[in-house]
Amino acid sequence: MIEVQQITKRYGQHTALDRVSFSVAKGEVLAFLGPNGAGKTTTMRILTCFMPATEGIARVAGFDCADQPMEVKRRIGYLPETPPVYQELTVTEYLQFVGRLRGLSGKVLTASIQREIERLGLGTVQRRLIGNLSRGYRQRVGLAQALLHDPPILILDEPTVGLDPKQIIEIRELIKNLAGTHSVILSTHILPEATAVCQRVVIISGGRIVAEDTPEQLSARLRQSEKISLILKTPAADTHSRLKALRGVQNVFTSGDSGTFLLECELGRDVREEVARVAVTSGWGLLELKAISMTLEDVFLQLTRHEEGLAPDSVAASVESTGQPV
Amino acid sequence: MTPVQAIIAKELRSYFVSPVVYVVGAVFLLIVGLLAYLYLVFAGAQAIQLMQVQGSAQLNLNDLVFRNLFASMRFILLIILPILTMRLFAEERKLRTFEFLLTSPIGINEIVAGKFMSVFLVFLSLLGLTGLMPLMLALFSDFDWYPVLTGYLGLVLLGALFLSVGVLASALTENQIVAAFVSIGLLLVLWLLSGLGALLGDTVLGQAVSYLSFMEHYDHLVRGLVDTKDLVYFLSSLALMLFLSHRVVDSARWK
């Protein structure tokens, strides 16, 4: 449904997107992950025909965004970063306006508005001015707007921002239900969200796609081995080699002489007990011993920090920073 | 309801929900009413003087009241119409609804047309209310309706031009105050061009510069002269301003 080939977007000297390619099949939900300024919003703006790409081709539902923007716009429901609501209108008036802009009228319009009001739980506020609604309600009105004409393609820029946890779960359920019949691209900072609702994740950083896979495979890709972090108070000179000699340990990384070690072990083999015993009997002063599980969060941080991804020193660097809140 | 009608309806709703239209409308009607009263009292005083000197006097309301009033209204419109237009695009940009409008399946010309029509309708209704004044005067005195009607035609055309300049200024910025000042500035420049034209005298350049100003075209209509040349001026400059607005809105996407 969506096909992006080698898209580049430059703002003057600044390159916001650098040869980005990806595609979304019908009924698929794709998450766009990336730090602020990575190019997520720019990509979405190109797909919704708000701005043209400097180079490259973007096709939505078989129509080129540059040549046939009207056809593309008709098939897209778009929720920008800030919900595009008019404060001086009531929820119903606003949805009527949106529907009319998209060519809905009469009974179809009324039915569509009713459907979205029910779907997003806006029943109690439908006659209130949007300006008086809370951030969460405005976000839901924004979603209702995107869904109103039942478009085959949805582009949602951070759809769950400003919602409370219960609403977040509801919206995720809603997106999951849309999958299958609708193609959805959503961007998010919240990694569990991507794991929860998406079949595929695209991690974008500095205008480039650094990884693209299913959430499970992305974490598996970086978790080719179990990792254990070890902090010793008084490591000996032979600590490194003795740790490496333990059964199941494949690799040992140290970071300077701070006593911090990272052990890479065979998959499915827990060497913590053994390591603890050796550390205690050798009098290394065991301070900390823990298994590192690679969540999508770690994958994301690593990929966006080090674009090359899996260099061993980058893993060691991330061990150093595990003590800091991320 | 077509998309243009939807935009007009929405904009009208926004206008009448906000206090702007009421405040601007009240000030406009108050000033016009006050001016009309002053010109009328002044005309009355002149008539009494003439009576004392000549023994009889024919009060010419067209010359003493309406022409002065129409001349003054140029300035009132120049001040108040930019206040009405300033929000049209600037607010959309500020509140991030601009992106929503441009990703809706409607053309930019429909957006510009809808926004212009909505504020034009507001202006027409305000202008319509000032029509009470000649109607009242017609009850008590006798005057020539024709120049009054052409004067109103002039006001409609002049208002449309001012509003289109305001739409353009509003498309240029996301700050409403800036939009209002830019349009007041542009309109004052257009106004002063007539002075510059007069300074250059009866040369080709002088005539060309005077032609660019709305002053002489509006004056003709106020004096009861309906010339195709003047209508062409108003309609073509209106079209040009709306076209420029279209270009500005379109180019905002590229940045």
Mean per-residue pLDDT, A300-321 = 48
Q: Tell me how many degrees the CA angle B255-B184-B244 measures, rounded to the nearest 5.
A: 40
- B238: in domain: yes
Beta strands A260-265 and A249-254, pairing class: antiparallel
pLDDT class of B119 with cuts at 50, 70, 90: very high
Mean per-residue pLDDT, A92-115 = 93
pLDDT of A320 over the 70 cut: no
Shortest CA gap A202–chain B (Å): 24
CB-based contact A181:A147 (threshold 8 Å)? no
Cβ contacts from A onto B, under 8 A: 68
Residue in B with minimal Cα distance to A47: B103
Q: What pLDDT, on a 0 to 100 scale, did the predictor assign at position B11?
A: 94
- B42: in domain: no
- Residue A148 main-chain phi, psi, to 5 deg: -55, -45
- B81: in domain: yes
- B134: in domain: yes
Q: How far is CA A178 from the centre of its chain?
A: 18
- Give me the residues of B, 107-126, that contact A with CB < 8 A: 107
- B133: in domain: yes
CB atoms within 10 A of CB A105: 14
- Numbered ranges of CATH 3.30.70.100 in chain A: 220-323
| Pairwise CA distance, residues A94 & A89, whole Å | 6
- Numbered ranges of CATH 3.40.50.300 in chain A: 2-214
Residue bearing tokens 């301070």: A287
- B41: in domain: no
pLDDT of A278 over the 50 cut: yes
Q: How many domains does chain B have?
A: 1
Q: How many CA atoms lie within 13 A of A95 on its CB side?
A: 31
* CA dist B130 → A188, A208, B72, B225 (Å): 55, 62, 14, 21
The CATH number of the domain covering residues in A220-323: 3.30.70.100
CATH superfamily, with its number, for domain A2-214: P-loop containing nucleotide triphosphate hydrolases (3.40.50.300)
CB atoms A78 and B105 under 8 Å: no
pLDDT tens figures, A193-225: 777 888 888 888 888 888 888 877 776 665 656
Q: What is the ipTM of this complex?
A: 0.87
Name chain A contacts of B102, Cβ cutoff 8 Å: 50
CB atoms A101 and B5 under 8 Å: no
pTM for this structure? Answer: 0.82
Query: Which of these, A209, A244, A213, lies nearest to A230 by C-alpha position?
Result: A244
CB atoms A48 and B95 under 8 Å: no
Q: Give the domain range for residue B146.
A: 3-19+74-252
Which of B100, B249, B251 would best serve as a mutation to test chain A binding (most A beta carbons within 10 A)? B100
pLDDT of B67 over the 70 cut: yes
B10 in reach of chain A (CB within 8 A):
yes
Give the percent of chain B with pLDDT over 70. 99
- B8: in domain: yes
A40 in reach of chain B (CB within 8 A):
no
CB atoms B3 and A101 under 8 Å: yes
Shortest CA gap B224–chain A (Å): 42
Q: How far is CA B163 from the centre of its chain?
A: 6
Which of A11, A86, A101, A105 would best serve as a mutation to test chain B binding (most B beta carbons within 10 A)? A101
